């Protein structure tokens, strides 16, 4: 079984400042990793994913994440946030083979302050 821990439930940050949203996972098998974003009253939208290859993954809206196998982490970063980035961000994991089930973290609410 897999589990995901998002270490911060809320992250306030000033506009144009950098941000890092932390995600750690636990799994006995190799995994694929995902970050999704949820804007108010909407469904989830994929930001980026790590399947294999380069550990630095770039996604939409200027976000990137780095897979660190030794630390079992997949932290999300953006060098300069905008007001429009205010949303809830979910880290998710699924086994690298076989099942297609995603296990989500509890989410991190990012609030960008003007």
Partner 1 sequence: DARVTQTPRHKVTEMGQEVTMRCQPILGHNTVFWYRQTMMQGLELLAYFRNRAPLDDSGMPKDRFSAEMPDATLATLKIQPSEPRDSAVYFCASGLPTGTDTQYFGPGTRLTVL
State whether residue 10 is helix, strand or coil.
Answer: strand
Taking the C-alpha atoms of residue 61 and residue 112, their distance in angstroms, rounded to an integer, is 15
52 touches partner 1 by CB under 8 A: no
Nearer of residues 15 and 38 to partner 1, judged by Cβ:
38
Question: What residues have CB less than 8 Å from 27, skipping those under 6 apart?
Answer: 1, 2, 3, 72, 93, 95
CB of 48 to partner 1, least distance (A): 10
Applying the rule CB under 8 A, the residues between 90 and 109 that interact with partner 1 are 90, 94, 99-107
Q: Buried b vs exposed e over 62-89: b needs ≥16 C-beta within 10 Å?
A: ebbbbbeeeebbbbbebeebeeebbbbb
CB of 78 to partner 1, least distance (A): 20
* Position among 51, 56, 60, 83 found at the interface with partner 1 (CB under 8 A): 51
Nearer of residues 9 and 71 to partner 1, judged by Cβ:
9
* Position among 11, 13, 44, 81 found at the interface with partner 1 (CB under 8 A): 44
Q: Which residues bind partner 1 (CB under 8 A)?
A: 32, 36, 41-46, 49, 51, 90, 94, 99-107
């Amino acid at each position: 079984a897999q589990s995901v821990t998002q270490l911060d439930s809320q992250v306030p940050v000033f506009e144009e400042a950098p941000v890092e949203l932390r995600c750690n996972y636990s799994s006995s098998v190799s995994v694929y990793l995902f970050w999704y974003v949820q804007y108010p009253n909407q469904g989830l939208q994929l930001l980026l994913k790590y399947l294999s290859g380069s550990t630095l993954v770039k996604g939409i809206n200027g976000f990137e994440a780095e897979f660190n196998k030794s630390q079992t982490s997949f932290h999300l970063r953006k060098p300069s946030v905008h007001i429009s980035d205010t949303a809830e961000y979910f880290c998710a994991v699924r086994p690298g083979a076989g099942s297609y089930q995603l296990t989500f973290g509890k989410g991190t609410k990012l609030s960008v302050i003007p």
